[in-house]
Structure 1
Amino acid sequence: MATENKSKPNSHPNKVNKKRKHYLPYNRPVKKGAHPLCPGVQGFFITCDGGREHQASHEAIDVIDSFFEEVVEEGIESKVEKLKPSVNPLNKITKFSYSDSSSSDDEDNDENKDAGDEGRRDGDELQKKNADEPVIAVNIDSRDETVSQNEDDASFEKKTQEIEEKPEDHLNQEAKAAVPRVKKQCVRTGTDESGNGSSLKLEKKSVDQLIEAELAELSDKGKRRFSKLDPACNGVVFIQMRKRDGDPSPKDIVQHMMTSLASTRKHISRFLLRVLPIEISCYASDEEIRRAIKPLVDKYFPEETQTPLKFAVLYEARANTGIDRAKIIGAVAKSVPPPHKVDLGSPNLSIVVQIVKTVCLIGVAERYKELAKYNVRQLTSVTT
């Protein structure tokens, strides 16, 4: 029995236990995501299935980029249509109000003829009066007067002849003025904007060089238009948008995405659920939210307006239990000026407030309930 109670010797005495305890390095922070979510960014707040954040982030960048290009193309086409000149052939004669019909031209000719006849009659009467009155050429002054009278008569006859010939010339001038002049295009000479006269050198790059430059820009993470940030929360993805001059806002891109998906019912993603536009991000506190939301309110809810809007506040919080929900909603609702009213049933615009840990993300959504709460999966699902 004693031999049975003895512990069995180790069959492999030289074998070393592979399980070792790993301790955190002393005085070093815990490793987090490469690009954590922080205040001061704008982009897209996306929900996905838990554990699929990596795949959803890559898919979201491709989907958002495609819809971004569509919005830009539509904006360019609308600008081109506005800049198109009206069709006006060069040989077309435009008629003005005073020369709308031929009758008006005839009336002008009759008036000019009447004026010429009256001028002739006045000239004949003056000549008769001068012939009846005796002319006494005693002084040099009286001679000058007679000469001046004769000169006046001659000039008057010339004027009457000009009046008779004027209608035809006048009509020719109107016809010439009616034909629009061909505008010459401004050709830029070889001078720069400073006017120094130096010739401009146009760099001609090949296709390979353009592709290399574009690849270099894409490889630089700081120059990418869309990049992912780590919110450090399960089931959540944030895509940052570096907005440049002339780019559409995140609201415009998401609005175009949802309306097109609702009309086409085309399946575009595998992991994405809701896509919300975010235009402002700050720390999750009452004071910071009131200060940061002012430009957004001025943009979408102006004080001086004849058509007040109805709005609603959509609040959600993740990984943060220390913040009061009522305070955040009250701070956002009170920042909107009084002409606009709160309507939770049928709002025109919805203010989206998403809190992820210590960061507050704010955006504006239009037709939120009509478009299935901006849920891509529900919009593209085929209902039978």
Structure 2
Amino acid sequence: MSKADSSNYKSKKKYFLKKGANRRTLDVNLKGFLCSCNSREKDCIKESYNLLNEYADKLYPAVLNPSDNETDEQDISESLSKEISGLKGTGPSSERRFQVIESGAKNFLFIRTSLENPAELAEAIIKDIHDSGSQKTRFLLRLIPVEITCRATPDEIGKAFLKISEKHFKDSPQTFCVIFNHRNNNVVSRDEIIKLIADKVNETRSDHKVNLKGAKLSIIVEVIKGFAFLSVVPDYLKYKKYNLLSVCSQEVSSDK
């Protein structure tokens, strides 16, 4: 192969790799889990898949695809070899239940899910760890459910929140708080977003109350680069902001 042909081949190879990778990057209207770790991203991916699959199998046995058990090891192996570049679907018309995607921040992974209610699964995991007092992970530190993703602008965050707010705040008065974090983004204002979200909660019902220390519902807004990850999480403060290591500590277990 000549140098010119070799150069042309390498350029095409890079193009196709980039094109394929785009299918596994962040987008709007995704559901999933933000997973934090401490540098050991490959180990975090493996633990996240194992934990999510274990509890999803228990919580949603009817939606388990027949091929899931056969391909879990392959999925984990592929994800480790590709680090956090994601996995392809297992069939032409279905998605994997869990698919790792780069979040845009170091030590933060986003695992996309095809499940309808990621907050329900995360709550089941955190409650079981709390009640049993058993440590389930070493490298996966925090598991934050994500009900919807959107572009990181106040207008888009407000619109995305409205899509998930009614099921949490319409039927009865709640105590709530807004938890805002940002990484690799200094454009979105914390105060602006908190006021925006609080105003929309009160537009749903006027009898909701803010409680910064013991809110029943926590509205999570995580901004990473150009995307925002939103969810409404029950007992988020009670369960140590869904820190999997802290919630199974002796101190927490003794509160039962």
Question: Does the TM-score normalized on the shorter chain lie above 0.5?
Answer: yes
- Return the match for 1:258 from 115, 122, 126: 126
Q: Structure 1 residues 241 and 330, CA, compared in 2 at 3 Å: closer, same or farther?
A: same
1:330 to 2:195 alignment: yes
- Cα deviation digits, residues 95-144 of structure 1 (max 9, x gap): xxxxxxxxxxxxxxxxxxxxxxxxxxxxxxxxxxxxxxxxxxxxxxxxxx
1:366 to 2:238 alignment: no
* Offset of residue 32 of structure 1: 10
Residue number in structure 2 paired with 1:228:
100
* Offset of residue 268 of structure 1: 1.5
**Secondary structure at the counterpart of residue 54 of structure 1:** helix
Q: Please give the residue correspondences for 1:345-356 in structure 2 after superposition, counting only pairs within 5 Å.
A: 345-356=213-224
* Offset of residue 58 of structure 1: 2.4
1:281 to 2:149 alignment: yes
**Secondary structure at the counterpart of residue 330 of structure 1:** helix
| Greater strand content | 2
Residue number in structure 2 paired with 1:40:
29
Q: Structure 1 residues 255 and 33, CA, compared in 2 at 3 Å: closer, same or farther?
A: farther
- Cα deviation digits, residues 17-69 of structure 1 (max 9, x gap): xxxxxxxx7xx88969932222221001111112x222212220110111112
Residue number in structure 2 paired with 1:343:
211
Determine the C-alpha separation between the residues in 2 that align with 1:327 and 1:353: 12
Residue number in structure 2 paired with 1:55:
43
- Cα deviation digits, residues 330-368 of structure 1 (max 9, x gap): 111111122212221221100011001010000011111
Contact 1:313 1:350 in 2 (8 A): yes
Percent identical pairs in the alignment equals: 27
Contact 2:174 2:209 in 1 (8 A): yes
- Cα deviation digits, residues 143-178 of structure 1 (max 9, x gap): xxxxxxxxxxxxxxxxxxxxxxxxxxxxxxxxxxxx
Residue number in structure 1 paired with 2:53:
65
* Offset of residue 328 of structure 1: 1.1
Determine the C-alpha separation between the residues in 2 that align with 1:39 and 1:373: 24
Q: Please give the residue correspondences for 1:209-220 in structure 2 after superposition, counting only pairs within 5 Å.
A: 219-220=90-91
| Unaligned residue ranges in structure 2 (runs of 5+) | 1-10, 75-87
1:314 to 2:179 alignment: yes
- For 1:57, the aligned partner's letter is I
TM-score, normalised relative to structure 1? 0.51
Q: Structure 1 residues 211 and 37, CA, compared in 2 at 3 Å: closer, same or farther?
A: closer
- Return the match for 1:271 from 139, 146, 157: 139
Determine the C-alpha separation between the residues in 2 that align with 1:211 and 1:309: 41
Larger radius of gyration: 1
| Paired positions, count | 217
Determine the C-alpha separation between the residues in 2 that align with 1:32 and 1:325: 34
